[in-house]
Amino acid sequence: MRLPLTLLALTGTLAACTLPQSSSTPQRPEQRCNAQAAQWAVGKTNTENNVAQARVQAGAYMVRVLNVGAPTTREFNAERLNLEVDATGRIVSATCG
């Protein structure tokens, strides 16, 4: 009979140690992509620096590099910059989504 009471007390102690989920957790502001601001990258080589600069210039939260003709997901994300590259590694388009 002593073992179940010990487990019950231990469970209560562990439950008290968990942090409550706060609804006042600060949310990051939405970063909407502006593909026009990243058009300078079209024709440039697909380097880490060019990709990062294009993301920042476009104001996008994230960037996705796609090969021409590669299948993509269909979900639209207004915070994502898509850079399409050809077989030579050149950026051929910059779009949002």
Between 17 and 82, the higher pLDDT residue: 82
pLDDT of residue 6: 46
- Per the structure, the complete domain to which residue 62 belongs is given by 35-96
Q: What is the pLDDT of residues 12-36, one digit of tens each?
A: 544 444 445 555 677 878 889 999 9
Whether 29 is covered by a domain: the verdict is: no
Q: What is the CATH number of the domain that holds 46?
A: 3.30.10.10
Exposure pattern of 73-88 as b/e (b: 16+ CB <10 Å)?
eeeeeebbbbbbbeee
pLDDT of residue 91: 98
- Number of domain units in the chain: 1
Q: Average pLDDT of the chain?
A: 82
pLDDT of residue 43: 98
* DSSP, res 65: E
